[in-house]
């Protein structure tokens, strides 16, 4: 008679991917582990023990095997391809990862998120769309639903978080079990699109997040589903931060992290070439660092960091002036600054030609009202 063990396996990387229970069936203690297909066969949430009667156990196993034989898409199956992919979706469980404090700290951009080490994660690639979904019970805060949209910035990487700063993690055990992360650039909404509103839309009722709420990251969103979601996302205000260190899209907290990462990337680039690097950002010259080569060449480099992959930046009036007037001025743009920095240089002429005015300062102190 098979010996049936119930093994609860927490698969909640980073944000709570929900509990998955599996049956492990062995006839002997030295028998090889069941196939991955059997784990899939025996998936129950949770598996409820019905008693000690052997016939009950056998009936349960027959039922599970019958279910597994049905032609349906189960979580463990290789059932999705890039042909129908509109976007990936990653989920956040606020009971595991403190989204409330993250938002209260002024953060607005998710730069990486945990995923399961499966074939879907291996399919994630630079440029693909990604959605940020928050789970939870109805009536809780943060409200469950769609909280952000963005882009995948590259392949999944593996990292050991044991012993590091817990950051916004609430579940320390889960943090230490988390290993695989996808680099992303996800901008969070000021207000989410509620889960119930999306669930009530018949065009979205079949979304994987509704059909398989226990599934781990990443989830699949079809092209048709993404088209519906894109139409439901309200226009997001474009925030501009202007400070003594320059101007940029987004909030001061995120901008500071991105700018620091970009400065480090550019400094490392010049130092690797044997140049001397001097940080002049506090002087508001119109550039951030002055670089001198062994032969005496001087580059006056304005550094801009971007969390995403598009080299779209802001120049202040002083930086634009410097680009037109100061010899040796160069623009260094670091994309994917927080996850996989990519450095690009532009000369002053290219920067000036690509610049378009967005905001004008209007001083009406000396102008009489109409």
Q: How do residues 135-155 score in pLDDT, each as one tens digit? A: 999 989 999 999 999 999 889
Q: How do residues 48-81 score in pLDDT, each as one tens digit? A: 444 555 565 566 566 655 555 544 444 444 578 8
The CATH number of the structural domain formed by 82-232 is 3.10.590.10
Confidence of residue 14 (pLDDT cuts 50, 70, 90): very low
159, two tokens: 């990292």
Q: How do residues 308-342 score in pLDDT, each as one tens digit? A: 888 888 898 999 999 999 999 999 999 988 888 99
Confidence of residue 238 (pLDDT cuts 50, 70, 90): low
Question: Is residue 237 predicted with pLDDT exceeding 70?
Answer: no
Cβ–Cβ under 8 Å, residues 156 and 178: no
282, two tokens: 């506090």
Q: How do residues 90-139 score in pLDDT, each as one tens digit? A: 999 999 999 999 998 888 889 899 999 999 999 999 889 999 999 999 98
Question: Is residue 186 predicted with pLDDT exceeding 60?
Answer: yes
What pLDDT, on the 0 to 100 scale, is given for residue 326?
96
What pLDDT, on the 0 to 100 scale, is given for residue 255?
76
Cβ neighbours of residue 154 closer than 8 Å, sequence gap 6 or more: 125, 126, 183, 336, 339, 340
Cβ–Cβ under 8 Å, residues 345 and 332: yes
Q: Which residue matches tokens 């630079």? A: 126
What pLDDT, on the 0 to 100 scale, is given for residue 197?
95
Cis amide bond preceding 218, omega within 30: yes
Q: What percentage of residues in the chain have a pLDDT greater than 70?
A: 73
What pLDDT, on the 0 to 100 scale, is given for residue 285?
94
Nearest to 92 by CA among 219, 253, 231, 221: 219
- How many CB atoms lie under 10 A from the CB of residue 176? 15
Question: Is residue 245 predicted with pLDDT exceeding 50?
Answer: yes
49, two tokens: 């023990």
Confidence of residue 177 (pLDDT cuts 50, 70, 90): confident
Question: Is residue 44 predicted with pLDDT exceeding 60?
Answer: no
Confidence of residue 4 (pLDDT cuts 50, 70, 90): very low
- Residue scoring higher pLDDT (99 or 43): 99
Task: Give domain limits for the chain.
Answer: 3-69, 82-232, 240-354
- Residue scoring higher pLDDT (162 or 274): 274
Out of 7-16, 18-27, 72-81, 303-312, least confident range: 7-16
Q: How do residues 249-288 score in pLDDT, each as one tens digit? A: 555 666 778 889 999 999 999 999 999 999 999 999 999 9
Q: Do domains 82-232 and 240-354 have the same CATH topology?
A: no
Coil/strand/helix, residue 137: coil
Cα of 189 vs its chain's centroid, Å: 14
- Residue scoring higher pLDDT (18 or 237): 237
Residue-wise DSSP of 55-98: HHHHHHHHHHHHHHHSS---TTS----GGGEEEEEEEE-TTTB-
- Residue scoring higher pLDDT (147 or 363): 147
The CATH classification of domain 240-354, taken from the options 3.30.450, 3.80.10, 3.40.1350, 3.30.310: 3.40.1350
């Amino acid at each position: 008679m098979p010996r049936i063990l119930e093994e609860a396996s927490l698969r909640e990387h980073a944000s709570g991917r929900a509990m998955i229970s599996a049956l492990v069936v062995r006839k002997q203690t030295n028998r090889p582990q069941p196939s991955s297909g059997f784990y899939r066969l025996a998936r129950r949430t949770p598996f409820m023990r019905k008693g000690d009667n052997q016939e009950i156990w056998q009936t349960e196993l027959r039922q599970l095997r019958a279910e597994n034989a049905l032609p349906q898409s189960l979580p463990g199956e290789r059932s999705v391809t890039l042909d129908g992919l509109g976007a990936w979706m990653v989920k956040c469980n606020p009971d595991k990862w403190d989204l409330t404090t993250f938002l209260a700290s002024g953060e607005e951009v998710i730069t990486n998120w945990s995923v399961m080490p499966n074939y879907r994660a291996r399919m994630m690639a630079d440029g693909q769309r990604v959605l940020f979904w928050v789970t939870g019970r109805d009536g809780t805060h943060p409200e469950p639903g769609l909280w952000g949209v963005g882009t995948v910035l590259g392949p999944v990487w593996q990292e050991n978080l044991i012993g590091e700063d817990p950051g916004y993690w609430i579940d320390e055990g889960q943090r230490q079990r988390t290993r695989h992360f996808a680099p992303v650039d996800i901008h969070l909404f000021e207000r989410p699109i509620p889960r119930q509103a999306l669930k009530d839309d018949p065009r979205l009722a079949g979304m994987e997040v509704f059909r398989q709420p226990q599934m781990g990251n990443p989830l699949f969103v079809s092209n048709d589903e993404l088209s519906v979601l894109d139409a439901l996302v309200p226009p997001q205000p474009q925030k501009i931060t202007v400070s003594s260190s320059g101007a940029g899209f987004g909030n001061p907290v995120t901008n500071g992290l991105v700018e620091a990462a970009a400065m480090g990337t550019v400094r490392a680039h010049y130092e690797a070439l044997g140049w001397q690097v001097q940080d002049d950002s506090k002087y508001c010259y119109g550039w951030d660092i002055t670089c001198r080569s062994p032969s005496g060449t001087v580059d006056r480099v304005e550094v801009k960091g971007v969390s995403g992959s598009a080299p779209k930046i802001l120049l202040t009036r002083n930086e634009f002036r410097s680009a037109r007037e100061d010899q040796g001025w160069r623009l260094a743009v670091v994309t994917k600054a927080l996850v996989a920095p990519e450095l690009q240089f532009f000369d002053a002429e290219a920067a000036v030609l690509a610049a378009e005015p967005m905001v004008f300062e209007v001083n009406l102190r000396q102008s009489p009202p109409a």
